[in-house]
Amino acid sequence: MDALTRTLKETIEAADRAITAEDFDELMKFYADDASLVVKPGLTVVGKESIRRAFVAIADHFNNSIVVTQGEIQVIQGGDVALVIMETLLQATDKAGAKTEISRRATYVFRQISEKWLCVVDNSYGTALLDSVGS
C-alpha cells in the first residue's frame, strides 16, 4: 500500500471512529468547509454545519448504534485531489431492536488543503446512486 493510500485509509478509519463515538465535532475536522455529503439518494447537503446536522439525524435514525468499518480500498490521485473507492460496512440496531448490516462500495473525493487531505465529497452509496436515477 502506498503512502497516500495508507494516509487516506487511516483518515477514513479515524472519521469512522468519530461517527461510531458520535463525536461530531471531531468528525468535522475531516471535511473541507465546502464539502458535500450524500445523505441518501436524492438528498445531498453542503457545508460542515449541514453535514454535522445530517450525521446527528443519521445517528438518531439508527438508534445511536452505528458502527462503521471499512474494507478494501483503491485510491486514484490527480494533482491535489484523490478519488477513494472503498468497501464500507454499517452495523446498527434500530429502535425496535432489529440488527442490520449494510455493505456499500463508497466513493469519496479528498482534496489536499494546507497539507492535509480533507473530504470534499462523501458518497457512501457509491455508484448505487445510479440505481435510483429515473425512478
Q: Would 34 be classed as within a structural domain?
A: yes
Across 17-44, b (16+ Cβ under 10 Å) vs e yields ebbeeeebeebbebbbeebbbbbeeeeb
Asked if residue 134 is part of any domain, the answer here is no
Whether residue 29 is contained in a domain is answered as yes
**Per-residue model confidence as pLDDT tens digits over 12-70:** 999 999 999 999 999 999 999 999 999 999 999 999 999 999 999 999 988 999 999 99
Per DSSP bridges, beta strands 99-113 and 81-93 are antiparallel
- pTM reported for the whole predicted model: 0.92
Arithmetic mean of pLDDT over the chain: 94
Task: State the residue range of the domain holding 43.
Answer: 3-126
CATH number at residue 65: 3.10.450.50
Report the SS3 class of residue 113. Answer: strand
Q: Does residue 36 sit within a domain?
A: yes
Domain assignment present for residue 133? The answer is: no
Q: What is the mean pLDDT of residues 103-109?
A: 96
In a domain, 135, yes or no: no
Cβ within 8 Å of residue 96, ≥6 positions away: none
Whether 43 maps to a domain, the answer reads yes
| Number of domains into which the chain is organized | 1
